[in-house]
Amino acid sequence: MTTSFAWPSPHPPERVGRPSRKAATAALKAHVAVLGGEPLRRAVTEALHEAGNLGGQERRFVAFATRELSRHMRLLDFAARQLGQAPGKSLLKEDQALVRYALWRRLLCGGDWARVGPEVRLPGPLRPRSIKDVALERLVTEPLAAPPPQDSTETALAIRHSFPSWLMERLSAEVAPTELGALLESLNREPAVQLRVRPPRTPASVHAVLVEEGVASHEVEGVASALVVDDPGLRVFETRPMREGALQVQDVGSQLIVALCGRPAELTGRTAADVCAGAGGKALALADAVGNKGRVLAGDTSRRRLQEARERARQLGLRQVSFPSPLALETADVVLVDAPCSGTGSLAREPDTKWRLTAARVSELARTQRELLESTAEALRPGAVLVYATCSVLREENEGVVEDFLARHAEFHREDASGWVEPRFVRGGDLRVWPHHSEGGGFYAARLRRR
């Protein structure tokens, strides 16, 4: 049975604005760097630096356009083929970038040649280049027929939402067929700024201050610490609560992982350890939860990230966070393993990941996750809680790792996550945050306790 799909509807005009040629050039350069293997965030930072004095709106455009070109790469190449501009291997990376950009502006931004032409045509934003202006013009102006039918729904969805086929297959095993399109769409949606409101402030009190300062935001049902910014700009970073250190950028799902570590009353005065603390997002939230009579022990294999965590803790005056080596896990009441993972739940923020990942890499990550869980668990004292978490939506890195661990460790048992988070965030007893069901990315966490 064949299945068809429709070309996407363009973003609302205010999302895209009217980029200057300079901003378009920076986005194109960043995309070329991503094609050359550079991580997207770094590619954007470097392109912005090279571009020099761009205004705030233009800088946001560069970051957005670069993410969009990675997000919709398969769809854009498919459309190019429809218009006789096959993306073939022989095409220069710079040509590929121009083709994708022109088609992105047409299909996802509703741009016409009068608008797009000045952004891409010669004397051109990119060198080297072999594609002619007339070919780019054709991509934007020639009528585009409806996409031809595909031989399966999965193929149609993989093209429409631009996912590699192997990942599409994995994702289709995670949710009901009726939810698959919504899941893929949510993984391509530009994420809003999500904030953790630090105690003693509450989301309601901060929301009221933000209203006074003209920044729209909303609370998230069932997530006691979260506030999501509705304002598309970055004005929230200039507001009083932000300047006073009352707000931290943190995904709603990450806040739920911290909630799974314990209720405030359970954690106050306790010792928590964060084995993979990275730049400290969850370690700082744990520090607020244990309070100044508790302790947070933070470790990571990356010295650079730990240094960042140390600096953030210092700035917030959170003296209960320390970075001992080794971590003395036997003294901890709660240990968080926020494991390195595929990041498939965070593709909305880091869309280049989907083109770098392979099935073999996911299996390699699952091996690392099993080893990390194993070596951490060994050190825990009886009665201690072990929370294993990822920002992956793939079973292999989530339930797969935890079930394998529990099968070999009768001294640990799973505690039902619904004791700590709302049942709508729970699947099979574990925390499962789905990006198509709630705000933010996809997350997983299991709460285990040593007998």
Ligand X SMILES: C[S@@+](CC[C@H](N)C(=O)[O-])C[C@H]1O[C@@H](n2cnc3c(N)ncnc32)[C@H](O)[C@@H]1O
Among 68, 77, 154, 300, interactor with ligand X by CB under 6 A:
300
Q: In Å, what is the CA distance from 417 to each residue of 263, 272, 387, 435? A: 12, 18, 10, 18
Least Å distance, CB 366 to ligand X, is 13
Kindly state the smallest distance separating residue 305's Cβ from ligand X, in Å.
Answer: 5
Nearest approach, Cβ of residue 215 and ligand X (Å):
24
Three-state SS string over the chain comes to: CCECCCCCCCCCHHHHCCCCHHHHHHHHHHHHHHHCCCCHHHHHHHHHHHHCCCCHHHHHHHHHHHHHHHHCHHHHHHHHHHCCCCCCCCCCHHHHHHHHHHHHHHHCCCCCHHHHHHHHCCCCCCCCCCCCHHHHHHHHHCCCCCCCCECCHHHHHHHHCCCCHHHHHHHHCCCCHHHHHHHHHHHCCCCCCEEEECCCCCHHHHHHHHHHCCCCEEECCCCCCEEEECCCCCHHHHCHHHHCCCEEECCHHHHHHHHHHCCHHHHCCCEEEECCCCCCHHHHHHHHHHCCCCEEEECCCCHHHHHHHHHHHHHCCCCCEECCCCCCHHHCCEEEEECCCCCHHHCCCCCCHHHHCCHHHHHHHHHHHHHHHHHHHHCCCCCCEEEEEECCCCHHHCHHHHHHHHHHCCCEEEECHHHCCCHHHEECCEEEECCCCCCCCCEEEEEEEEC
**94 or 300: whose CB is closer to ligand X?**
300
For 206, half-sphere exposure in the C-beta direction (CA atoms, 13 angstrom radius) is: 29
Instruction: Return the residues of window 219-258 that contact ligand X according to CB under 6 A.
Output: 254
**Dist CA 261 CA 54 (whole Å):** 43
Choice between 198 and 282, CB closer to ligand X: 282
Residues 359 to 398 in contact with ligand X, rule: CB under 6 A: 372
Q: Is 301 in the site for ligand X (CB under 6 A)?
A: yes
Nearer to ligand X, 161 or 312 (CB): 312
Q: Looking at 33-41, 209-217, 225-233, 301-309, which segment touches ligand X (CB under 6 A)?
A: 301-309
Show contacts with ligand X in window 332-361 (CB under 6 A).
338, 340
Shortest CB 70 distance to ligand X, Å: 20
Q: What residues are paired with 219 via a beta bridge? A: 227
Q: Among residues 302 and 418, whose Cβ is nearest to ligand X?
A: 302
Residue of the chain from 60, 207, 305, 395 that contacts ligand X (CB under 6 A): 305
Stretch that binds ligand X, among 7-15, 170-178, 208-216, 272-280 (CB under 6 A): 272-280
Please identify which residue in 67, 160, 270, 282 interacts with ligand X, judged by CB under 6 A.
282
What's the half-sphere exposure (Cβ side, CA atoms, 13 Å) at 97? 28
Give the binding-site size for ligand X (rule: CB under 6 A).
15
- Per CB under 6 A, does 192 bind ligand X? no
Q: Which is nearer to ligand X, 58 or 300 (CB)?
A: 300
Question: Candidates 32-40, 147-155, 178-186, 270-278 — which segment interacts with ligand X by CB under 6 A?
Answer: 270-278
21 vs 361 by CB, closer to ligand X: 361
d(CA 379, CA 371): 13
Q: Measured from the CB of residue 422, what is the shortest distance to ligand X in angstroms?
A: 21
The one among 171, 247, 275, 373 contacting ligand X by CB under 6 A: 275
CA–CA separation, 388 and 409 (whole Å):
15
Distance (Å, rounded) from C-alpha 106 to C-alpha 136?
11
* Closest distance of CB 441 from ligand X, Å: 12
Assess 278 for contact with ligand X (CB under 6 A).
yes
| The only residue of 57, 302, 307, 331 in contact with ligand X, by rule CB under 6 A | 302
Pick from 43, 171, 256, 276 the residue near ligand X by CB under 6 A.
Answer: 276
What is the smallest separation between the CB atom of 63 and ligand X, expressed in angstroms? Answer: 20
Least separation in angstroms between residue 405's CB and ligand X is 16
Q: How far is the CB of 442 from ligand X (least distance, A)?
A: 13
CB of residue 250 to ligand X, shortest distance in Å: 8
Residue placing its CB nearer to ligand X in the complex, 329 or 372:
372
Q: Give the C-alpha separation, 72 to 160, whole Å.
A: 8
CB of 102 to ligand X, least distance (A): 36
For ligand X, which is the closer residue by CB, 276 or 446?
276
Stretch that binds ligand X, among 26-34, 178-186, 228-236, 269-277 (CB under 6 A): 269-277
Provide the minimum distance between the beta carbon of 105 and ligand X in the complex, in angstroms, as a whole number. 34
For 301, the token pair is 């294999």
Q: Which of 28, 156, 277, 313 binds ligand X (CB under 6 A)?
A: 277
Residues that bind ligand X (CB under 6 A): 254, 275-279, 281-282, 300-302, 305, 338, 340, 372
